[in-house]
Structure 1
Amino acid sequence: MSTKWRNTSVKIVLILFVVCIMLFAFSFVNHTSFTGKSFAEAYGLPIGQSMFDGDSILDDKAPVEVPLLGNPLFIVHEITTLDLKGLLMTLTTGYVPFDYSTISSEGIDSYGNARGFEGPGYLTLDGDKLAVKAPDNYIWGYSSPYKVLTKTNSGVDVVENGTVVQSVPTDKIKELNFHNDFYNVTSILNWYNNDATVGSNFTLEKGIVGFSDGRNNISYSDVERIFGKNVSDYVDAYPAGSPIVLYMGNTTEVAAEDYYTYLGSHPEYGDSVREYNARQFVEAWNNTVIPPHSSGNGHDYVSFGSAADASAPGGSAAHGVCPPARALRAAVLGEGFSLPVGMDGSENAVLFGYNPARDIKVTNTHDFPVKIIMWTQGEGTGMAIYAKLIRYVPTDQVNTSNLTTNATISQDIGNSST
């Protein structure tokens, strides 16, 4: 650096220093003192909103600028960051960008941008300060209908977040373009014509409510935007009200023991129907993830065949679900969990009156999520049915008490159930 440039730089700094000293005399001119809470209220900040590193806490609002004469110290962060363009604008307009470091405790830089974390954080109040909190190791919530069709006397209403956005007459329902991997307009027509009464709802989209960390509820579109398509697809597959693990940080997968049984033969109920039902049970429960201290169920879009059974209420039952239910029950009890709701301890493991997919509830009492894995080998009456749990343990907490693996261990639980 030349001597001339060094002298010029010193002069610029001295001039700015003198300006700051002069402005200090006006430090009480048009000055408004903010706390994080009062600023959030004054400018309508989206407290509870999910945020990523680099997002502005103002969301899509215009930057906040305040009179320099009343807030002379706010120019300091422009000087320290050598924001020459900002300094020029401040000195020519008399307004300075608000310095958010004065009202924040963590996760927010002086310009109001979220900083210093990975994953989906969220804006909150930390006492009287603003903060963007980094995500916990696990984030979960509960799926909830966000957009539904409600049957009316003359057709259906499209209701989004509690507000009717469209009314569709009966003869136009067939033209609706709502669909996903699990339903289409044919499904909607079947519901309308065969199942629904006036006031009944058909869920089109599910959002997330009741977040584990207290952040704001989100719409269906925000599920994919914030947590990814895999999570959005999972939400689609499971009934409204299901607990959903939305995010996991640094975890290690630890496999528990395998449990297995065989389908066996009961020709009086039809072994082909029994095999179909067993496979449907496995499909419904495989890859189900249950958050800590929550009760989860299988997914919703499976069907079960019926077999005549004089001892069953209504004269028929979904025979074939009990062998996979016993395998699941063994894996759950082997993990130290309680007997699932909708099951008993007998060979006929599924209680009458419970849908084997959505009504059975498995309660995870761990401090971390678990995933249920189910699969089959072979076919026919000799088909083997397996179940095990995967623990998602925080990597820094893996120890001998939770690192039990089962690379070579399997347990046969018998095969005589219907």
Structure 2
Amino acid sequence: MTGGDEPPGDVFGHHDFTRFWVAETVSGFGSYVTTMALQVLVVLSLHGSAGDVGLLNAARWTPYLLLGLVVGSLVERRRRRPVLVVTDLARAVLLLSIPVLWMVDDLSLPTLLVVMVVFGTMSLLNDAASQSFLPRLVPGPSLLAANARLDQSSSVAQTSGPVVAGGLVTAIGAPAAVLVDAVSYLVSALATASIRTPEPTPVPDGTPRHLRREIGEGLRWIYRHRMLAPVVLSTHGWFLCNSIVTTVFVPFALLRLGLSPFELGVAFAAAGVGGLLGSSVSTRVGMRWGAGGTVIACRAVMPLAWAVIVIAPVQNHGHASVLALVLAGGGQFLIGLAMGVENANEMAYQQAITPDELQGRMNTTRRSLNRAMIVIGAPLGGLLADAVGYRPVMVVAIVGFTLVAGGLAASPFRHARHGDSQGLVGLQERLGGG
């Protein structure tokens, strides 16, 4: 597919993709409920600080830092559908334990952190299998459209999930609200189990498999690739900045702006509206501007969006002003818009130029190091906010977003276009001869 080609037809013609889409959509909705509910739980129910919110975020992503490179290689040795089903069921059980522990008055921050570490391990396995499974369900030219469809449903979940979470937290409390996500993972497991696309069982070819060598091949593929390396490194920086500022945002909104949990949900929902709009036009924008130009432009929007939030006025007599809610929601809308346009283009480009035998390692290596940035940035942002205040830390993140966008714009990735074939050329050379 060249930059001037029309995008492929509707991917819902692939029935197994539809089942996969249902699984991702339902679990995504539940995840947006839980993401907000857990942060509110730490701040209001467990009376935690911004540093505690940072520890919560770090706990969920620590397995990516510790195990990510290994998991990418191990998943490639297994059929991916069973991994998806088992990890969905495990995550449902883990989330169910949170309201149960709360009911017996045994839920504390350390206990919650342990639950989230195990939950993160299951998510790591699921992510590695999920992103490597998609290219088996749709042909290569349809990957951009498939990722756009997934982003659209994710944006709808992002729009409705926080509002539902705010209402549930207000009505039944944050711990009980987590039950919604537990149910969503059960539905996701059933939908995934119904997929019938045959998967080849990995069969040893007689050549000894060395885990360290396989990890090295994945690293070399990403960080020696002329196009992949700049965008992946830039994304690492983006995740560091984003983890800092998103950790600070929830306590900033609740304690400084004076937003209620429901108003916070409305602000987060604005990001979903922006994401839905962005993902709806992501295919057309990507075909017109190219993958590189689209991703760079979206990253340039991020510092502007957070600047809108930073200037929101603090609460007056214990209540948020209308202007504070408008600015918080407006900034979140811009964030969602940028991410909605960017994600499908970035993911489709990376999946399209990576061979099937490297999909698991490419996806997991990239995601693992991205999440490693969260493990570093989330507690750092929280501790700095407790020490020097919310706004100064958010300004530092805004500067970081600006540098990330500028660095990517100066790299060869600015010329990346959908349909590039260079990713498949010289595979053995790029892997150092295997």
TM category (shorter chain) comes to under 0.3
Larger Rg: 1 or 2?
1
Please give the TM-score of this superposition, normalised by the length of structure 1: 0.19
| Larger relative contact order, structure 1 or 2 (CA cutoff 8 Å, min sep 6) | 2
Structure number having the greater strand percentage: 1
